[in-house]
Structure 1
C-alpha cells in the first residue's frame, strides 16, 4: 500500500500509533473531542501496514514538519497566553466574552481557571442544579472552596441537586459548561486589580505608627468590616515573627544596608524588640554576635530614624515576596 492510497486521517493514525508505541506518556486529551473520536474510529478500521508504507508515512510527516515556518496555538486561550501582557486586559476580556458567547471556548478548562471569588459568585447566583454540576466537574479543592462560601440554605440545595448529576451526558455537560462560562464572562471586572482593603493596607505599611493608628481608628468608626480587612492587609515590622519563615531571614537581611539594619534592630517597643530578636535568632551565631556588638557600640538613634529603618526592612521583605524569592505566612496563621 502506498501513501497516495491513504487518507490524511489514516496517515495521522499511523503516526499516533508509532508515538504510542515509543512513549507511554503520549496524551491526546488536548485534541478536540470530535478529532479524538475520528482518530479512534480510523484506528479501529485499520489492520496491517507494511514496513514500506510505514516508512513512507514517516518520511512524508518529517518533510511536512520541516516545511513549517510558524505555528499558532489554534485557539483563543493559547493565543492569549502567547500574547501575554502585550494586549490590554480590556481587549482580552472582550475576546474571551465573544468566544464564550459563540461557544468557541473550552468551557470547563476556563471555569477551573477562574479566580476563587468568581467561582463563589457563580455558586451563589446560578441555579442550584447548574452549580451542582459545576462542583461535580471542578477539582475537589476548587469545589470545596466555592461550596463553603455559600449560605447554609443554598449549600443544602446544591448538595441535594448533586444527587441528580450522575446520569448527565457529555452533550449536556458541554452546554452547562458554556452557560456557566458565559455567566462568568458577564461578571463585572474591577478596573483596579487589588481589593480596596489591600491597597489601603499596603499604603499604611509605610505610614508612621501614629498616622496608621489614627487612620484605622477612623475606619473603625466608619466601617468596621473594611477596617478589619485593612488590618489583615497591613504588614509591619512587629509582624515579622508571625509572617516571615526563619529560613528566609538571612536572605532578607542581605537586602538591607548595615546602618539601616542596625537602627531597625535597636527598636525598643515590646513587639518591635521581639521582631528584632527573631531576626537575630535566625542568623548564624557569628553574624548575630557581630550585629549585637554594633548595636552595643551605637549611639542611641532618634525614634524617627528607627521607625524609618523598620519601614525599610518591611519594604525589602515585601519586595522579595513580590518577586517570588520568599514566601510570607498568611495573617490567619498568626498565633
Structure 2
C-alpha cells in the first residue's frame, strides 16, 4: 500500500512492523523490557500483520530512500513467530497466557473491546449471563481488570465465579461459540474464535491477589466450604515462596526467627538469587556466610523435598501474617508504626 493508506498506519502497527522486521532474537530482547499490557497490544498487532508493503516499511524504518518500487511481504508464519518471540521474551509460563489472549482476541473483536471498557460497564454487560460465561470472560481479561469486575458482582455470586475459573480447563468450542454469540449481539463483530487454555487455578489466584482484602477473605471462606482442595490450591498459588522477596526486611527477620536452619537451607535450594540475597541481608554476617557455604556444599536433593520445605515456611509466613506480625506482599494494607 502507498500514499494515503501508508499514512493511516497507527503507532502500534508501526511498532509491529518493526518487530517483524527485526527478527525473533532482537524483537524478543525489546519485548522483554515492556509491560504485560504493552506486550499484549503489540503482539496482537503483530498477529494481524500478514503482508507489509515496502512503503509501510519505509515509513516505519525512517528510510532515507524516497520511494521503493516493489511491494514485498515478510513471508513469516505470524502465529509461529508470535509464539517464538513471546516465549523467548517472557519464558514459557508467562508467555502462554499472553499468547492465548493474542490469538483468541485476534478473532474476537468483542473480547478485545471488553479490555477497553471500565470494570463496572463490563460487569453490567455480563451480569445476567450464565456463571460459566462470566468465568470465561474474567479469565480472558487481565487480572487487575478482572479483579475490579469481580468486585462489582454481588457477594453471593463471587465464590461460584472463582470456583468456575479455578476448574476451567481450557475453553470448549461450544462455550466459546456461546460467548461469541453473546458478544456479537453487543458489539456486532466477533467471529470464529479459537479454542484457548484460559482459566485455571493460577488465573483464579491472580484475580484474588488483586482484589480487596475483605472480599478475598469472604470468597475464600465460601470456596473452602465447597471444595477444600481447590481452596488450598488457590491459596498456594496466591503467594508462592519466591514472593517472599516482597516482604519487608523487618518481616523477613521475624520469619527467620520462626524457621529452623535446616528447613531454610533446604527451601533455598529452589529459590531465585534475588530472594537468597534478601535472606542473607537480613541475617548476621556470620550466619549468612555459614548459610552460603552450606548451600554450596550441599548434595543434590529431590525437588519434592525442596517444595515441601518451602510450603512449611509459607505456612509459618501465613500464620505470622494472620497474627499481624508480618505483612505479605510488601504493598497494600496499613503501614506499621
TM-score class normalised by the smaller sequence: 0.3 to 0.5
Q: TM-score, normalised by structure 1?
A: 0.34
Larger Cα Rg: Structure 1 or Structure 2?
Answer: 1
Q: TM-score, normalised by structure 2?
A: 0.34
